[in-house]
Amino acid sequence: MMVKREVLSSEGSMMLVKVELAEGFVGDIDQHPEEQLSFIEKGQVEFEVDGEKRILNAGDTQYIPSSIQHRVKVIEECVILDMFSPIRKDLLEG
């Protein structure tokens, strides 16, 4: 399995999602109206946000503004904690 998601909390206007990604995973370009803050708990990833690439390691964070295109490429198997505001209803349904 390349992607495993678990909604840890979705209260008020905030949501916390634990995402586990396999080494070599390359995400599709994503874009959503919710703001996102990603915390790398384990591993190494390349985040591309609005065309700008950054390598992130455990302990690093990445902010993604509302409606900005972004994608992730996993360099080393990782666990990411994603916070969204407001709640991403599509993640609750899926």
* Residue range 58-86: mean pLDDT, rounded: 98
Confidence band, pLDDT 50/70/90 cuts, at residue 1: confident
- Give the CA angle between residues 82, 37, 80 to the nearest 5°: 35
Environment class of 84 (CB within 10 Å of its CB; exposed 0-12, middle 13-18, buried 19+): buried
Compute the distance between CA of residue 7 and CA of residue 92 in angstroms, rounded to an integer. Answer: 8
DSSP label at 29? Answer: P
pLDDT in tens, 18-67: 999 999 999 999 999 999 999 999 999 999 999 999 999 999 999 999 99
Residue 94 is predicted with a pLDDT of 61
DSSP label at 1? Answer: -
Residue 13 is predicted with a pLDDT of 96
